Amino acid sequence: MRILLVHAHPVESSFNGSLYRMVRQTLIDRGHEVDCLDLYAERFDPVLSHDERLNYHDTENNRTGVTDSVERLLKADALVLVYPVWNYGFPAILKGWFDRVFLPGVSFRIEDGQVVPCLHNIGKLAVITSYGGTRLRSFLAGDPPRKIIKRMLRLTIRRGAPVHYLAHYDMNRSTTESRHAFMSKVQSVLENF
């Protein structure tokens, strides 16, 4: 299976960086073709420009500036995202990637004024993330990243596709043991991905 692996963390030596490397190696070891898109390493520009917004609904021209990311997304059979949750949201670079790449004609089309999902090439989705706060605190805040993935993004990809949301909560008080346990859980899920 061809997997687009998107990473969004600026520090290679971080726990998130370790997760990314482990995820990449696990998927490769399982025989998948892995296309690694490290947004910081590739210096992805998350800013939606004036012209991009004006051309947003022009499916002939709206990919200008993000053609590489769009093509990589459309060639993938599965999508795996590795990122931290900051301030109960996506890192700005990842949010910008969604804004600039999940375009009309790419992730959806408009028919008779209705949004119709069309990212049906993605048959599996996995998110590997970490939160500074506890699961309870995230729940009380509404846990926007989880909802966006499990509700919105799920509707954009192939109907019925499995969605895995793996989160290490309470990183502010994590231990070596809790981090290793989480990495083992992630590895176990990806070995059967």
Domain ranges of the chain: 2-191
* Tens-digit pLDDT profile for residues 106-122: 999 999 989 999 999 99
State the average pLDDT for the chain: 95
Q: What is the pLDDT of residue 91?
A: 97
Q: What is the pLDDT of residue 158?
A: 96
Residue 105 confidence class, pLDDT cut points 50, 70, 90 = very high
Q: Which CATH number fits domain 2-191: 1.10.3720.10, 3.20.20.70, 3.40.50.360, 1.10.760.10?
A: 3.40.50.360
* Tens-digit pLDDT profile for residues 139-166: 988 899 999 999 999 999 999 999 999 9
Residue 97 confidence class, pLDDT cut points 50, 70, 90 = very high
Q: Mark 41-58 as b/e (b = at least 16 C-beta within 10 Å).
A: eeebebeeeeebeebeee
Mean pLDDT of 53-73: 94
Q: What is the pLDDT of residue 79?
A: 98
Report the share of the chain in percent with pLDDT over 70.
100
Residue 50 confidence class, pLDDT cut points 50, 70, 90 = very high
